Amino acid sequence: MPAVIVILAVVFGSLNPNFWSGTNMANVSRQMSILALLSLGQTFAILSGGIDLSVGSLLALVSVVCAQQMLNFGLVEGITAGILAGGLAGLINGLVIAKARVPAFIATLGMLVAARGVALTLSGGLPIAGLPREFLVLGAGYLGPFPIPTMLAVAGFVLAHVILSRTRFGRYVYAMGSNEEAAVLSGINVARHKMMVYVVSGLFAGVAGVVLTARVISGQPTLGEVQELYSIAAVVIGGSRITGGVGGIGRTLMGVLVLGILGNGLNLVQVSSYVQNIVIGIIIVGAVYVDLARERRQ
């Protein structure tokens, strides 16, 4: 997979040398940071044997809550409220999935629809403007040569990687995805850890939503359409198994990079975004096929 990324980069770089420019790199990474954050949360969900279809809508919900509370109370309060809104939605997902035992696909599908409804209701269907100018920095600013959203995504990757590979919770996520029944019989509190998985996913969506709101300096109830599907694509292209128990953050990083480089590269050679979608669709299926073929040969 890393080889694929290098090849893609070299190909696009040679087709349009602007690919390698600092500005381009900064722009791409800034744009991809939202999807990256969503994909991190999605990785937890998928590894545990579930899925989170609601994260795209959560961007909208978080955006609206963040903007409204920022206008009501202040910058920090708005940011906190937004992130917590994501976490709360995740908690609701978790309760439905772990306690009511509704399959994750269905539970998060319901949240996908409902959360957007909440966002539209709270905002009356209209954007919320008038956010403090300082907020823009979070979405559009730089820390040295690096865009702030990119740094946040990188921090997110590091944090997620540590959690998944070095904590008990992370180990239990893999165990649940590998064999949930054995996990129960091994003494793992599956219900509690499943809930935590969806809270984590919701919190990552919360951070992503706040950053996105900062970038457009307004609360938008229409954000995030289809983004949940791209987050799943990133996880799956990276090589994590859709049924859980196999994969990791490193793989998701690969998936995000592939999507990012592909999208940006095709833009630079002036391929229309419609055609890009066709390409991405083919890549999603192709990447999983290659992975499965490799596994079957074992």
- The site for another protein (CB under 8 A) is made up of 162, 166-168, 171, 174-175, 177-179, 181-189, 241, 245-246, 298
Nearer to another protein, 197 or 208 (CB): 197
Nearer to another protein, 80 or 178 (CB): 178
Amino acid at 178: S
Shortest approach of another protein to residue 155 CB, angstroms?
17
CA Rg, the chain, in Å? 19
Nearer to another protein, 99 or 168 (CB): 168
For residue 96, which of 50, 60, 40, 142 has the smallest C-alpha distance? 50
Nearer to another protein, 174 or 204 (CB): 174
Shortest approach of another protein to residue 87 CB, angstroms?
20
Shortest approach of another protein to residue 171 CB, angstroms?
6
Shortest approach of another protein to residue 172 CB, angstroms?
8
CB 39 within 8 A of CB 255: yes
Nearer to another protein, 143 or 162 (CB): 162
Shortest approach of another protein to residue 148 CB, angstroms?
28
DSSP letters for 175-194: HHHH-HHHHHHTT--HHHHH
Residue 32 has φ and ψ, to the nearest 5°, of: -75, -15
Distance CA 38, CA 209 (A): 9
Distance CA 67, CA 167 (A): 34
Three-state SS for 50?
coil
Cα-Cα-Cα-Cα dihedral of 200, 202, 203, 208, to 10°?
Answer: 130
Nearer to another protein, 18 or 167 (CB): 167
Beta strands in 61-138 (DSSP E): none
Nearer to another protein, 51 or 210 (CB): 51
If 0-12 CB within 10 Å is exposed, 13-18 middle and 19+ buried, where does residue 124 land?
exposed
For residue 198, which of 49, 70, 62, 63 has the smallest C-alpha distance? 49
| Orientation angle between helical segments 148-166 and 190-216, nearest 10 degrees | 170
Shortest approach of another protein to residue 60 CB, angstroms?
34
Q: For residue 6, how many C-alpha atoms fall within 13 Å in the half-sphere facing its CB?
A: 3
Shortest approach of another protein to residue 193 CB, angstroms?
12
Shortest approach of another protein to residue 255 CB, angstroms?
19
Nearer to another protein, 80 or 179 (CB): 179
For residue 206, which of 284, 264, 167, 152 has the smallest C-alpha distance? 152
